[in-house]
């Protein structure tokens, strides 16, 4: 694999020039027991013979699992932090290990696990995606008007111009939440923290960034330190926002996340957006997976970040198949600055500096690493990125950094200057996979290809009655697999990205609005899949939010889920079936086209599909068989299965792991 580093070249006026070490790897930690009490997520059954419909009844039932209070200090007493009603049958509580063990003997107890701590995951974009104010899909979808997007993050800055309510209608009648900001704003909900509430005010800008990306309004004359001037907008600029603050500093406790998901379902959101994550775990131990399953049962579409732990394989967060897992990609706008060396060599890089630094030559030196005179690297990939630097600075690629190093070693008096060139549109490598974007394969469910796509998405407002799975399918099967110049999408090494980086490809909102065919799923369709993962009845019940007996379910392998992609481990041949639903033209026919992975024979039966009405379904089977190959075959292969009509191309990626 090519090197995955780049140099960061930083200039300090009248002092010295250094190449500085930066490393922004998001770490994931779990709550450790620092005292006798710690937070637990407790799953319990509904009491036999009755349904808990009142808050008091629910609270009483949950409290019945707590041990009796003692005369000890109140600080050391068990207490319920949250009582969950919509996303799970259970509660979060502060307990000792001894109290949890005693609770396990009570009738109705299912499970208890220590709270996990998740981490946050981070003007020209609409144009790059083909979205235009005056015409096309954006306008036809009414810019997301009437849709309520719930954002779970670190809060927002309510005075930010992206959140102005000018031109925004009142919230729909179905909205049951409240707004606690004393400012003009679309919608907001309270923050949650350890069972208390506070205003959802942003602390570091991450929540404002994610919320404005999802549904920021049109902001004219936007810029970044004089760069990238234009009109800023989110993907659904007329949608309402419901803000749930679940992150406090860097930490996002999953008891708070579950509480926010519970509130969002109760409040009546249409879409949930979460840029939060942690290391891979079983779905029944994953609060986002559990809470989002309850959300899709209510018809709520859930979109989550794939994670910021790339470019290494197997680093995904949010792997559940009922979630749209989105990787990070670039657009074709750069803020360019050129490093000019004393020998005349020039190297283009990126920056967000305002560019008021004179292009004069100054001495060039290396910063020491751990006190040693060594070159310094940034382990983030050879694609350059633009940061808002306080000091005049530019990021250059690893290859160019090596040339700069060679120049420094070639002369006793190395010098360099930065030439700030401002905003440039038309990067031929875009879209490309961001180096930090987490990659598959999925560890929790290798038979489901993740991530699903790269790039942002907008669809709920134009198809309000489509299921979450249908929306997800439309986004995946219409995604682009080539960049703006018609070449393969690149990764951080400037080589073609594999499907563990891109998933189905880069989102194409206009095509996703009219996909032709969709692979639909209802919530109960996931239960045989979960049983097929080998989960116990109670573990599947935690996710499904109801009692499950896998012995009475038709368990299926992962590859048999009606998913819009294929991830197959190939020793013996495998045959899977898929069912597509016609959401395009009533009278239409499709022919299958296969780009088979090297060393694999792919056959489809039937190879043509015919439809005579909208919403008609058709089923096909696909068989994957290993064949001898004259070329060298790696551990993985990839290809595509596409249904083609006169109007539509419905593409599914294929990932093959060779045993």
Query: How much is the pLDDT for 362?
Result: 84
Q: How many domains does the chain have?
A: 3
One domain for residues 169 and 271: yes
Which tokens in the block code for residue 612? 């005579």
Say whether pLDDT at 282 is over 80: yes
- Non-local CB neighbours of 74 within 8 Å, separated by 6+ positions: none
Give the domain-ending residue among 557, 585, 601.
Answer: 557
- Comparing 264-278, 299-313, 367-381, 600-614, the range with the smallest average pLDDT is 367-381
Within-domain flag for 13: no
Q: Can you give the CATH number for the domain in which 156 is found?
A: 3.40.50.200
Asked whether the predicted pLDDT for residue 20 surpasses 50, the reply is no
Region 324-329: mean pLDDT is: 87
629 in any annotated domain: no
Residue at which a domain ends, from 557, 581, 609? 557
- What does the alpha-carbon distance between residue 248 and residue 360 come to, in Å, rounded to a whole number? 44
Whole-structure pTM value: 0.81
Flag the least confident range among 44-58, 184-198, 342-356, 451-465: 184-198
Instruction: Indicate the angle between helix axes 287-297 and 537-544, nearest 10 degrees.
Output: 60
pLDDT at 229 over 60: yes
Q: What is the mean pLDDT of residues 544-569?
A: 95
125 vs 359 pLDDT, higher one: 359
Kindly state the tokens that stand for 474: 């439309």
Structural domain includes residue 108? yes
Q: Which three-class secondary structure state does DSSP give residue 590? A: strand
Contact of 420 with 350, CB cutoff 8 Å: no
Residue 509's alpha-carbon distances to 277, 382, 576, in angstroms, are 25, 28, 29
**Bridge pairing between strands 617-626 and 333-341:** unpaired
Co-location of 298 and 171 in the same domain? yes
Per the rule left: phi > 0, alpha: psi between -120 and 50, beta: everything else, 344 is left
Is the domain of 500 the same as that of 544?
yes
In whole angstroms, what is the distance from residue 279 CA to residue 29 CA?
9
Tens digit of each residue's pLDDT (9 = 90 or more) over 507-518:
888 898 899 999
Q: What is the Cα gyration radius of the chain?
A: 26
Most confidently predicted of 171-175, 179-183, 396-400, 472-476: 472-476
Q: Is residue 155 part of a domain?
A: yes
Evaluate whether 62 touches 148 at the Cβ level (below 8 Å): no
pLDDT score of 34:
37
| pLDDT of amino acid 596 | 95
Residue 30 has pLDDT above 60, yes or no: no
Residue 485: the pLDDT is: 82
Task: Read off the pLDDT band of 600 (50, 70, 90).
Answer: very high
Tally: H helices and E strands in the chain:
13, 34
- 290 neighbors 269 (Cβ within 8 angstroms): no
Mean pLDDT of 155-175: 83
- When the pLDDT of each residue in the chain is averaged and rounded to a whole number, the result is 80
pLDDT tops 70 at residue 384: no
492-509 core/surface letters (b: 16 or more CB in 10 A; e: else): bbeeebbbbbbbbbbbbb
Same domain flag for 230 and 106:
no
Q: Would you mind telling me the total number of residues written for the chain in this entry? A: 659
For the cut 60, the answer to whether the pLDDT of residue 2 exceeds it is: no
For the cut 70, the answer to whether the pLDDT of residue 405 exceeds it is: yes
Note whether residue 430 is domain-resident. Answer: no
HEC letters along 383-445: CCCCCCCCCCEEECCHHHHHHHHHHHHHCCCCEEEEEEEEEEECCCCCCCECCCCCCCCCCCC
Asked if 201 and 307 sit in the same domain, the reply is yes
Residue 14 pLDDT > 70: no
Range from 353-362, 554-563, 577-586, 609-618 carrying the lowest mean pLDDT: 353-362
Joined together, the tokens standing for residue 378 give 């940034």
Model confidence at 124: pLDDT above 80: no
Show which of 117, 141, 172 is a domain's final residue: 117
User: Are 129 and 112 contained in the same domain?
Assistant: no
**Left, alpha or beta for 573 (phi > 0: left; psi -120 to 50: alpha)?**
beta
CB-based burial of residue 13 (10 Å sphere; 0-12 exposed, 13-18 middle, 19+ buried)? exposed
In this prediction, residue 341 has a pLDDT band, given cuts at 50, 70 and 90, of: very high
Residue 170 and residue 259 in one domain: yes
Q: What is the pLDDT of residue 588?
A: 97
DSSP 405: H
Q: What is the DSSP letter of 323?
A: S
Rounded Cα gap, residues 398 and 4, in angstroms: 7
Q: Supply the DSSP string of 435-491, one letter for each residue.
A: TTS-----SS-TTS----EES----TTT-TTS-HHHHHHHHHHT-BSB-TTSSBPB-
Whether residues 298 and 364 share a domain: the answer is no
Considering only 272-276, 362-366, 536-540, 614-618, which range has the smallest mean pLDDT?
A: 362-366
pLDDT tens, position by position, 179-219: 665 433 334 444 445 555 667 888 888 888 888 877 777 67
Assess whether pLDDT exceeds 60 at residue 90: yes
State the DSSP string of 506-556. B--HHHHTS-SEE----GGGHHHHHHHTT--HHHHHHHHTS---GGGS---
- Residue 93: inside a domain: yes
Domain that holds residue 372: 333-378+411-425
Residues 214 and 306 grouped into a single domain? yes
Percent of the chain with pLDDT strictly greater than 70: 76
Closest residue by Cα to residue 320 from 292, 279, 360: 292
Tokens coding 481: 């697999």
Name residue 120's beta-bridge partners. Answer: 276
The single-letter DSSP state of residue 378 is: B
Comparing 9-18, 27-36, 251-260, which segment has the lowest mean pLDDT? 9-18
The answer, yes or no, to whether residue 319 has pLDDT greater than 50, is: yes
Mean pLDDT of 323-337: 80
Find out whether 605 and 594 touch, Cβ atoms under 8 Å.
no
Q: Is 317 a domain residue?
A: yes
Judged against a pLDDT cut of 60, whether residue 382 lies above it is answered with no
Q: What percent of the chain is predicted at pLDDT more than 90?
A: 45
The predicted pLDDT at position 610 comes to 98
Q: Would you say 624 and 656 are in contact if contact means Cβ atoms under 8 Å apart?
A: yes
Residue 23 has pLDDT above 60, yes or no: no
**pLDDT for the residue 426:** 61
Q: Are strands 90-95 and 38-44 parallel, antiparallel or unpaired?
A: antiparallel
Identify whether residues 158 and 223 lie together within a single domain.
yes
Residues 461 and 477 both lie in one domain: yes
The pLDDT value given to residue 142:
57
Cα(168)–Cα(170) distance, integer angstroms: 7
Strands 109-114 and 116-120: unpaired
- Is residue 516 assigned to a domain? yes
Alpha-carbon distance of 557 to 576, in angstroms, equals 9
Mark whether 157 and 297 lie in a shared domain. yes
Q: Is 60 helix (H, G, I), strand (E, B) or coil?
A: helix
Cβ-contact 193, 256 below 8 angstroms: yes
């Amino acid at each position: 694999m090519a090197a995955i580093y780049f140099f960061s070249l930083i200039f300090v006026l009248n002092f010295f020039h250094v190449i500085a070490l930066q490393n922004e790897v998001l770490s994931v930690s779990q709550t450790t027991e620092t005292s006798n009490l710690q937070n637990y997520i407790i799953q319990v059954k509904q009491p036999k013979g009755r349904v808990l419909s009142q808050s008091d009844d629910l609270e009483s039932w949950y409290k019945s699992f707590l041990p009796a209070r003692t005369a000890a200090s109140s600080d050391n007493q068990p207490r319920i932090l949250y009582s969950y009603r919509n996303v799970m049958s259970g509660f979060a509580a502060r307990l000792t290990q001894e109290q949890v063990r005693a609770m396990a003997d009570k009738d109705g107890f299912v499970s208890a696990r220590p709270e996990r701590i998740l981490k946050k995951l981070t003007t020209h974009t609409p144009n790059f995606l083909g979205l235009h104010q005056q015409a096309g899909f954006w306008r036809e979808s009414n810019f997301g008007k009437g849709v309520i997007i719930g954002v779970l993050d670190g809060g927002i800055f309510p005075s930010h111009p992206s959140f102005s309510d000018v031109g925004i209608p009142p919230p729909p009648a179905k909205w049951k939440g409240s707004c606690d900001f004393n400012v003009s704003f679309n919608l907001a909900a309270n923050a949650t923290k350890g069972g208390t509430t506070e205003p959802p005010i942003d602390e570091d800008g991450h929540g404002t960034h994610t919320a404005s990306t999802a549904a920021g309004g049109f902001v004219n004359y936007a810029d970044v330190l004089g760069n990238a001037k234009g009109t800023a907008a989110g993907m659904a600029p007329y949608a309402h926002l419901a803000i749930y603050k679940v992150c406090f500093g860097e930490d996002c406790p999953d008891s708070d996340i579950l509480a926010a998901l519970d509130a969002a379902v109760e409040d009546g959101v249409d879409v949930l957006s979460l840029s939060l994550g942690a290391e891979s775990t079983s779905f029944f131990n994953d609060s986002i997976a559990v809470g989002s399953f309850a959300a899709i049962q209510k018809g709520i579409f859930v979109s989550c970040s794939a994670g910021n732990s790339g470019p290494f394989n197997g680093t995904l967060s949010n792997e559940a198949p009922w979630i749209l897992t989105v990787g990070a990609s670039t657009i074709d706008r750069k803020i360019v600055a050129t490093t000019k060396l004393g020998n005349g060599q020039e190297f283009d890089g990126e920056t967000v500096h305002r560019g008021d630094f004179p292009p004069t030559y100054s001495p060039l030196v290396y910063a020491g690493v751990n006190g040693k005179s060594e070159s310094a690297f940034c382990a983030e990939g050879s694609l350059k990125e633009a940061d808002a630097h306080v000091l005049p600075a530019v990021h250059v690629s690893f290859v160019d950094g090596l040339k700069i190093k060679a120049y420094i070693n070639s002369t006793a008096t190395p010098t360099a200057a930065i030439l700030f060139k401002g905003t440039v549109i038309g990067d031929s490598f875009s879209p490309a996979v961001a180096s930090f974007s987490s990659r598959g394969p999925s560890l929790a469910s290798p038979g489901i290809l993740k991530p699903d796509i790269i790039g942002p998405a907008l669809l709920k407002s134009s198809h309000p009655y489509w299921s979450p799975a249908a929306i997800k399918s439309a986004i995946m099967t219409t995604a682009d697999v080539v960049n703006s110049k018609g070449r393969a999408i690149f990764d951080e090494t400037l080589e073609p990205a594999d499907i563990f980086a891109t998933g189905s490809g880069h989102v194409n909102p206009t095509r996703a609005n009219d996909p032709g065919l969709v692979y639909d799923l209802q919530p109960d369709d996931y239960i045989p899949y979960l049983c097929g993962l080998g989960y116990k009845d109670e573990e599947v019940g935690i996710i499904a939010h109801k009692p499950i007996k896998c012995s009475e379910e038709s368990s299926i392998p992962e590859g048999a889920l009606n998913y819009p992609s294929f991830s197959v481990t190939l020793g013996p041949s495998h045959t899977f079936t898929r069912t597509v639903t016609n959401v395009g033209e009533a009278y239409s026919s499709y022919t299958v086209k296969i780009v088979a992975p090297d060393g694999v024979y792919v056959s489809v039966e039937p190879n043509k599909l015919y439809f005579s009405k909208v919403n008609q379904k058709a089923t096909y089977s696909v068989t994957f068989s290993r064949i001898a190959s004259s070329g060298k075959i790696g551990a993985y292969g990839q290809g595509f299965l596409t249904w083609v009509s006169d109007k539509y191309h419905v593409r599914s990626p294929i990932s093959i792991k060779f045993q």
